[in-house]
């Protein structure tokens, strides 16, 4: 079961570290010349923690509590130096002094071509300069059970190429070329959000006169993946009349992947008159694997006229009736709409229309 927690947060202090620059004539960098890099995190503004289960509107920000920056040549990770070139610079920002929206790094090896940023990792990842492989970073394992707190989702930029500053002659105070990277951090999960249930009977001769909700659970999802999105592990159960009841009975009270709906009652009205009831903030987070497309499934357990029933989703479609192309970093909102005929059909499956909206990023500082 999910726990709705309320946190009070201080507004995050945006920290901007700028480069000291000089107006110089155009200079061609010699091979092996170190690089300076300025990164910018877009869509990062002060915010407060949410309750977790509410509906998220398009453009709503995702909290950014801490992050770490990694530089690479595509194979190995490298550390920047302080501006005086005396020691390695800090690349992990833990949020205690605010989360930066912009930061500059210096004396990176010439072979560095790209940058990676990970948000909400909880603690600094140790990197051995020129030894730690990029693959070690990308192969860090994520479990979906640990990705249910909407204010502490793992965020990832992917590997982003550095760009030479727009003014090709721009050099920093140490006569090294300045590169930039504009980064948007996205959650490593997608979010299914059920706004409400809509039930209708198709005729006055309907066999069902009452409907009581019991449980809802998610099926056919990746329970594990890596930061880079490979080696995903599918959690799936064949749902039919002979398997569904044991499946539902196997969920523990603390499990994230199901919800108790017993407080939701539906009063059946006249034929062809839909009845909608609030879902109470039902949401399910799951990983999307680009190399192994899957269709997540929601399964509803209910009772009609004292007869045990279930209903499983077959597909999710957009407003144009096209199948959804799932992406991490998106919220898929829906009304779970079904009829008495679908409940009584032997296949017991339903297509659901969803509205995809994209997340953005918010930065918060916790108060203790």
Q: 175: phi > 0 → left, psi -120 to 50 → alpha, else beta; which?
A: left
Are 296 and 222 in contact, with CB atoms under 8 Å apart? Answer: no
Same domain? 269 vs 173: no
Point out the domain boundary residue: 141, 171, 188.
188
Same domain? 67 vs 148: yes
Same domain? 179 vs 194: no
Same domain? 211 vs 167: no
pLDDT tens, the chain, 368 aa long: 444 333 223 223 233 333 333 333 333 444 578 999 999 886 544 334 444 555 555 556 678 888 999 999 999 999 999 988 999 999 998 877 777 778 899 999 999 999 999 999 999 999 999 999 999 999 999 999 999 888 888 999 989 999 988 654 455 555 678 899 998 888 999 999 998 898 888 776 666 777 889 999 999 999 889 998 877 788 999 999 999 999 999 998 889 999 999 988 887 776 667 788 888 778 999 998 878 778 899 999 998 888 899 999 999 998 888 888 888 888 898 889 888 888 888 888 898 888 888 876 654 433 32
Same domain? 180 vs 322: no
Point out the domain boundary residue: 188, 210, 232.
188
- Cα–Cα distances in angstroms (integers) from residue 277 to residues 116, 161, 341, in the given order: 44, 48, 19
User: Domain limits at 150?
Assistant: 9-23+34-188
Number of structural domains found in the chain: 2
Is position 89 within any domain? yes
Is position 100 within any domain? yes
Point out the domain boundary residue: 188, 204, 232.
188
CATH of the domain at 352: 2.60.40
> In the prediction, which pLDDT does 236 show?
93
Are 216 and 301 in contact, with CB atoms under 8 Å apart? Answer: yes
């Amino acid at each position: 079961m999910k726990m709705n927690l309320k946190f009070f947060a201080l507004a995050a202090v945006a920290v901007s570290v700028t480069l000291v620059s000089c107006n110089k004539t155009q200079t061609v960098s010699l091979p092996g010349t170190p690089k300076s890099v300025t990164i910018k995190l877009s869509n990062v503004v002060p915010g407060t923690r949410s309750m977790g289960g509410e509906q998220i509107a398009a453009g709503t920000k995702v909290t950014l509590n801490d992050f770490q920056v990694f530089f690479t040549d595509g194979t190995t990770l490298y550390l920047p130096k302080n501006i005086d070139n005396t020691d390695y610079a800090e690349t992990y920002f833990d949020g205690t002094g605010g989360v930066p929206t912009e930061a500059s790094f210096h004396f990176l090896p010439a072979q560095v071509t790209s940058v990676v940023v990970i948000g909400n990792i909880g603690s600094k990842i140790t990197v051995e300069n020129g030894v730690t492989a990029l693959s070690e970073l990308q192969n860090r394992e994520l479990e979906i059970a640990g990705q249910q707190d909407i204010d502490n989702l793992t965020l990832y930029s992917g590997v982003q190429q550095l760009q030479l500053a727009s003014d090709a002659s721009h050099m920093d105070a140490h006569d090294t070329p300045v590169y930039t990277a504009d980064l948007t951090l996205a959650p490593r999960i997608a979010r299914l959000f059920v706004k409400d249930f809509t039930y209708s009977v198709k005729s006055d001769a309907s066999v069902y006169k009452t409907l009581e909700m019991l449980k809802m659970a998610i099926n056919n999802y990746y329970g594990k993946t890596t930061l880079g999105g490979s080696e995903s592990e599918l959690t799936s159960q064949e749902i039919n009349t002979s398997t569904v009841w044991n499946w539902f009975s196997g969920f523990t009270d603390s499990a994230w992947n199901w919800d108790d709906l017993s407080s939701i009652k539906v009063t059946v009205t006249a034929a062809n008159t839909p009845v909608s009831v609030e879902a109470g903030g039902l949401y399910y987070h799951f990983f999307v694997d680009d190399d192994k497309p899957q269709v997540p499934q929601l399964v509803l357990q209910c009772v009609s006229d004292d007869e045990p029933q279930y209903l499983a989703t077959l597909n999710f479609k957009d407003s144009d009736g096209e199948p959804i192309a799932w992406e991490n970093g998106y919220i898929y909102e829906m009304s779970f709409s079904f009829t008495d005929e679908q409940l009584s059909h032997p296949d017991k499956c339903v297509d659901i229309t969803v509205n995809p909206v994209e997340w953005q990023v918010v930065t918060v500082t916790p108060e203790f």
